[in-house]
């Protein structure tokens, strides 16, 4: 994500709701260490020394869920790589990593944007027909539903790298001049999503130029607001009195997909694009706008200077039209993307689906802000395989829930229990609020019902065999309060938690939770709790800030990082940001891939045969120290990386 504008570590949640750390500490105090073994024991021992105690009685025990059928352990069949600090990429022995479709890649052979100059001189019109900037979430859709050699690669483009001087890389400058309308419009066209028709011939992947499917969806593409909040007064603007038509999607971070073949793109740090030119030194933000982190004055991007809709004093409701999950049909280039308001308005990181026992669709998502919440949506109607007419609007009707983590008695290795609190008008804590108001101001609703504060919930992933749900809590380095029981002034390393829904049913209203791994740096002073992690984090695989997360078909868990890459101080010996693989059963973790200098590794998707892995490298050289992927003196360019096994085998095996 954009470091100069990174406000994620600055909590906007000023509610008195309990923090997850307090819940964990009570669970540790109640259960002690004896029930834990191996990596889990080390996790609990670490938490007992590093988390603040809080009084309160235990909740009623959750009935144990039936144990899932035993599955073969996924094999980590590769040799881990060492930490990497060069300006290239490193991948496990026996694999090949190839850069693909970097920012600016043409999608069409003629007309605007049909060539890439290499110096950032392309215009806004050119950029609207080229692959966007800062690749993030990604998914491969087989062209015929099964091909591993041809399909649509759909990806997000989160933002453009900036500094106090303006847009740097986007225009090829290291000290960019002041913004202009053209510069802002080029940024608008560099954000959003790309739909790219790709095909492998003679072992090499290429873009199918001029394909009917090739499409750029930008921050000015018309979109439709749907679901319970659509048309509400909170979504109406002077340009759209209907409250149903929005121009664009912004800050597209992680993603999801549906079993009926559509792509879900998630609007995350959209708040950074809304400022004001009207008395910018006077804070005119409402309580809701402050809770969502809108900038009090001018922004670093400057969109509000040239487009009134991004000025919250001129268009108070425009910001309410961002922060949604957007559904896109990649196989219909004429279709209008739909912002599904039933899933709530937050800083969505990604969207992971599951099918409930009765066939309803469940979507999990995290709100990527320090001290914010985890949510899930359960559809009203059921998914019907092959029935697009039935499935096309499943995400428009259902119930949105927010997570509350308790320290109540749990079974096995699980540390506590939890419950899903409905964000509906029937909830007494939300009395007097309309459903539209609840969905537009989802954070405020979560505050009101007592949801549990988390350390920046990022990607959610559902295990394909056990249905357990994992989520990365990337870090909370903004925490400053310490005491004897909590000597850490910040959670710089992050962790991954997991939970199991009651009855192994995704629609259940209760669950059991556990900590899967605490990231850390055991190469540092072991007497400092800041640097300790779980026993499954070693000097050989040390990492920080887990972010991207996903399972392959065999059940291997892939972890991507977006954190400190200085390789000094707290991050010594951790190298560049990386991708690791974990065995959920043994909790073994191995480093598989590392990216170039100053990048984030993010997004992952496989071909159906699991023999090709696509991941993304975002903002290489965000501080000016990379020229990847071309090298030399070339502009750094975000790009996809294609990873294959040299013997043609399954990735990770």
pLDDT digits (tens, 9 = 90+) for 387-435: 989 999 999 999 999 999 988 777 777 888 999 999 999 999 999 999 9
**Residue 551: CA atoms inside 13 Å, Cβ hemisphere, count?**
20
Quick check: 604 and 68 in contact, CB under 8 A?
A: no
Quick check: 273 and 252 in contact, CB under 8 A?
A: no
* pLDDT band (50, 70, 90) for residue 30: low
Strand partners, 193: 156, 217
Distance, CA of 57 to CA of 59 (rounded, Å):
7
Q: Is the pLDDT of residue 594 over 90?
A: yes
Percent of the residues in the chain that have a pLDDT greater than 70, as a whole number = 87
pTM for the model stands at 0.91
Strand partners, 417: 406, 512
Strand partners, 365: 375
Domains of the chain with bracketed CATH: 20-268+323-645 (2.120.10.30)
Q: What's the pLDDT score for residue 29? A: 61
Which residue is listed with tokens 């559809």? 379
Please give the full DSSP string across 588-649, using - where no structure is assigned: -EEEEEE--TT-EEEEEEE-TTS-EEEEEEESTTTTS---TTT-TTPPP--EEEEEEETTS-
Quick check: 74 and 556 in contact, CB under 8 A?
A: yes
Please give the torsion angle defined by the CA atoms of residues 215, 216, 222 and 225, in that order, rounded to the nearest 10 degrees. 90
Q: What's the pLDDT score for residue 484? A: 35
pLDDT per position as a tens digit, 151-165: 999 999 999 987 654
Q: Is the pLDDT of residue 268 over 90?
A: yes
Distance, CA of 393 to CA of 227 (rounded, Å):
9
Give the pairing type, strands 204-207 and 222-226: unpaired
* pLDDT band (50, 70, 90) for residue 46: very low
As a whole number, mean pLDDT of residues 246-260 equals 98
Give the pairing type, strands 192-201 and 150-157: antiparallel
Token pair in block for residue 423:
């964000």
pLDDT per position as a tens digit, 357-389: 999 999 999 999 988 999 999 999 999 999 989
Q: What's the pLDDT score for residue 8? A: 59
CA 13 to mean position of chain CA atoms: 19
As a whole number, mean pLDDT of residues 459-479 equals 91
Judged by average pLDDT, the poorest of 33-37, 170-174, 350-354 is 33-37
Q: Is the pLDDT of residue 57 over 50?
A: no
Quick check: 152 and 199 in contact, CB under 8 A?
A: no
Distance, CA of 318 to CA of 308 (rounded, Å):
10
SS3 342: helix
pLDDT per position as a tens digit, 188-204: 999 999 999 999 999 99
Query: For 471, phi and psi rounded to 5 degrees?
Result: -145, 140
Q: How far is CA 435 from CA 145, 397, 398, 430, 432, in A?
A: 37, 12, 11, 9, 10
**How many other CB atoms are found less than 10 A from the CB of residue 180?**
13
375: buried, middle or exposed (CB in 10 Å: 19+, 13-18, 0-12)? buried
């Amino acid at each position: 994500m954009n470091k100069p504008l990174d406000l994620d570590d600055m909590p906007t949640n000023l509610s008195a709701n309990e923090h997850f750390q307090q819940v964990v500490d009570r669970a540790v105090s109640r259960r002690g260490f004896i029930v834990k073994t191996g990596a889990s024991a080390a996790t609990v021992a670490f938490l007992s020394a590093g988390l603040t105690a809080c009084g309160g009685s235990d909740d009623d025990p959750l009935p144990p869920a039936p144990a899932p059928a035993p599955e073969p352990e996924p094999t980590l069949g590769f040799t881990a790589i060492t930490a990497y600090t060069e300006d290239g990429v490193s991948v496990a022995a026996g694999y090949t990593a190839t850069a693909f479709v970097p920012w600016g890649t043409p999608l069409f052979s003629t007309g605007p944007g049909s060539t890439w100059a290499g110096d950032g001189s392309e215009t806004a019109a050119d950029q609207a027909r080229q692959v966007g900037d800062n690749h993030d979430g990604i998914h491969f859709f087989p062209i015929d539903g099964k091909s591993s050699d041809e399909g649509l690669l759909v990806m997000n483009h989160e933002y453009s790298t900036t500094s106090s001087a303006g847009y740097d890389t986007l225009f090829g400058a290291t000290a960019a001049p002041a913004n202009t309308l053209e510069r802002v419009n080029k940024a608008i066209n560099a954000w959003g999503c790309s739909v790219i028709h790709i095909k492998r011939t003679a072992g090499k992947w290429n873009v199918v130029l001029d394909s009917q499917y090739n499409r750029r969806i930008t921050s000015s593409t018309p979109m439709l607001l749907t679901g319970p909040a659509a048309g509400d007064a909170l979504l109406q603007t002077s340009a759209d009195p209907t409250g149903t038509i929005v121009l664009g999607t912004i800050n597209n971070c992680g993603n999801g997909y549906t079993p009926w073949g559509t792509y879900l793109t998630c609007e995350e740090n959209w708040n950074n694009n809304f400022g004001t030119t009207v008395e910018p030194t006077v804070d005119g933000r409402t309580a809701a706008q402050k809770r969502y982190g809108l900038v009090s004055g001018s922004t670093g991007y400057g969109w509000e200077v040239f487009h009134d809709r991004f000025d919250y004093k001129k268009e108070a409701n425009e910001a309410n039209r961002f922060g949604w999950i957007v559904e896109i049909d990649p196989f219909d280039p004429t279709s209008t993307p739909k912002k599904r308001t039933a899933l709530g308005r937050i800083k969505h990181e990604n969207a992971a689906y599951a099918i409930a026992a009765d066939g309803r669709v469940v979507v999990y998502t995290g709100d990527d802000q320090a001290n914010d919440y985890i949510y899930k949506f359960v559809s009203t109607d059921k998914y019907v395989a092959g029935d697009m007419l039935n499935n096309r609007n499943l995400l428009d009707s259902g119930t949105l829930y927010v997570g509350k983590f308790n320290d109540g008695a749990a079974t096995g290795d699980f540390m506590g229990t939890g419950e899903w609190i409905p964000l509906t008008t029937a909830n007494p804590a939300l009395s007097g609020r309309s459903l539209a108001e609840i969905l537009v101001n989802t954070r405020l609703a979560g505050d009101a019902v007592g949801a549990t504060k988390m350390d920046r919930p990022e990607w959610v992933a559902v295990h394909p065999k056990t249905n357990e749900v994992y989520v990365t809590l990337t870090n909370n380095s903004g925490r400053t309060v310490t005491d004897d029981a909590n000597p850490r002034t910040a959670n710089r390393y992050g962790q991954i938690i997991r939970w199991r829904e009651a009855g192994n049913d995704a629609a259940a209203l209760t669950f059991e939770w556990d900590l899967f791994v605490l990231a850390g740096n055991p190469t540092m002073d072991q007497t400092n709790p800041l640097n300790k992690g779980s026993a499954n984090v070693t000097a050989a695989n040390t990492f920080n800030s887990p972010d991207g997360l996903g399972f392959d078909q065999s059940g291997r868990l892939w972890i991507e990082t977006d954190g400190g890459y200085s390789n000094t101080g707290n991050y010594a010996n951790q190298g560049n940001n990386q991708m690791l693989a974990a065995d959920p059963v043994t909790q073994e973790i191995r480093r598989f891939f590392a990216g170039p200098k100053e990048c984030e590794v993010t997004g992952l998707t496989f071909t159906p045969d699991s023999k090709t892995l696509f991941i993304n490298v975002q903002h290489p050289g965000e501080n000016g120290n990379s020229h990847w992927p071309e090298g030399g003196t070339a502009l750094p360019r975000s790009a996809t990386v294609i990873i294959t096994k040299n013997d043609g085998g399954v990735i990770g095996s």
